[in-house]
Chains A and B, each alone.
Chain A
Amino acid sequence: MKKAILCCNGLDKPVGKIARKVALKLSQLESSEIICLVLFSQFPNRYHKEDYEAVVVIDGCPAKCATKIATNQLGISKRFLISELLKEHKLQHPLSIQSEETDDSIVESLLPFFEKEEHKQERKNETGWDAKAFIYQILKHDKYQFRIPEQKDMFFTENDTWCFINNDIARIGVTDYVQQSLSDILFFNTPEIGKKIVQFDEVGSIESSKAVFEVISPVSGTVIRYNAELVDHPEWINENPYEKGWIAEMQLTNFEEDRMFLINTEEYYKFLQKKVAQHE
């Protein structure tokens, strides 16, 4: 399984030129394949998520064309935005599209931010959320049964949402309590990719004939991916809201502070027990 780099076409802006040069350099260093964005957008079905161990996307400017085009088809594992990196680390900006002299030094100054990510890449794979089967605690109340996963790195909120942390990416979704109180979920209104989310903001919403539930995000971050299968199969959330019914994946931005409002399996079990008893 190889790694892939998808970078923006970047012809009209200096940062785009830098993005392409960084991609070329990285692909030599790590012998990973470069995917041409224009070819990809013309023939998407040539590229499959399963073919690649990791897909790194490099955008030049905030338009983020590469992210927008690649998102669901390839499943991004890491995203970079050259303009942001240059600003964040106060690096020298490229002068113009024509001038080449400063390009190499700028690329060199950017490389460490990419390599650092590479080691994290390895650690991620063994703890991937798809890797292991879930173990559940079952809370029984009357004829209802609420599954609560007992998973390391999985946390809950008192808005009945969960997040599964995997390095700096969190997968989020709703708990059994939500899908049972909504009963048959008919619509999944997708969140917007690339949107910056503060903890407790909405990340899309799910709808049944009974109600609309705004998915309240357990963490702050940027939405990098959502479960596109749910558009046609929203009932998967009823079937299992933790595994095939997951909602979105977010690039974490403020987890240390978010952590304060997250609770673990035992705490959520007690919280739900009290909440369900009150309904009687």
Chain B
Amino acid sequence: METFMGVPRDKIDWCPTIDYKKCNFCMECYDFCPHDVFTKTDEIKLIVKNPHHCVVFCRACSKTCNEDALSFPEKPEVIEKIKAIRKELE
């Protein structure tokens, strides 16, 4: 079972969100991400297929996007949530 710092990964909300108004489907992020978070589909050329593959707090793909179409949750909120879950588990 995939965990991040002792917390089940599926309980952590961290993955890229694609802003389709900005995205020009250059696929830089798709080529870049070594954990295949993104994938191509027939209807929409680019979607986030495996959000839980995304390394928590990593935003490297958003740096490859010159349309600034990739966004991530606010770090402080995610940290608070992880700490809360962690305390619950203990």
Contacts and interface: CB of A to CB of B under 8 A. Distances in A.
Taking the complex as a whole, does A directly touch B, i.e. does some CB pair lie under 8 Å apart? yes
Interface of A: 157-159, 181, 198-201, 210-214, 216, 257, 260-261, 279
A144 B31 CA distance: 22
A260 B6 CA distance: 10
B63 A211 contact: yes
A213 B55 CA distance: 12
Contact of B5 (A181, A210, A211, A261): A261
A279 B82 CA distance: 25
Interface of B: 4-5, 32, 34, 55-60, 63-64, 75-76, 79, 82-83, 86
A159 B55 contact: yes
Contacts of A213: 60
B86 A260 contact: yes
B87 to A, nearest CB: 9
The DSSP consensus for interface residues of chain B is helix
Contact of B32 (A158, A211, A257, A279): A211
User: Which of B4, B57, B60, B82 has most chain A Cβ within 10 Å?
Assistant: B57
A213 B75 CA distance: 16
Contacts of B83: 257, 260
Contacts of B59: 214
Task: List 7 A-B pairs, minimum CB-CB distance, nearest first.
Answer: A212-B63, A261-B5, A200-B57, A211-B60, A216-B57, A159-B57, A200-B75
B32 to A, nearest CB: 6
Given A159-B55, A260-B83, A211 B64 contact: yes
A158 B75 contact: no
B83 to A, nearest CB: 7
B56 A158 contact: yes
Given A158-B5, A159-B56, A200 B79 contact: yes
A271 to B, nearest CB: 10
Nearest to A207: B63
Nearest to B4: A158
B57 A198 contact: no
Given A158-B5, A216-B57, A261-B5, A201 B63 contact: no
Nearest to A216: B57
A257 B76 CA distance: 14
A201 B59 CA distance: 12
A191 B40 CA distance: 36
A181 B32 CA distance: 11
Nearest to B75: A200
User: Which of A210, A261, A279 has most chain B Cβ within 10 Å?
Assistant: A261
B26 to A, nearest CB: 15
A198 B79 contact: yes
Contacts of A216: 57-58
B58 A159 contact: yes
16 contacts: A158-B55, A158-B56, A159-B56, A159-B57, A181-B34, A199-B79, A200-B75, A200-B79, A210-B32, A211-B32, A211-B60, A212-B64, A214-B58, A257-B83, A260-B5, A260-B86
A200 B55 CA distance: 12
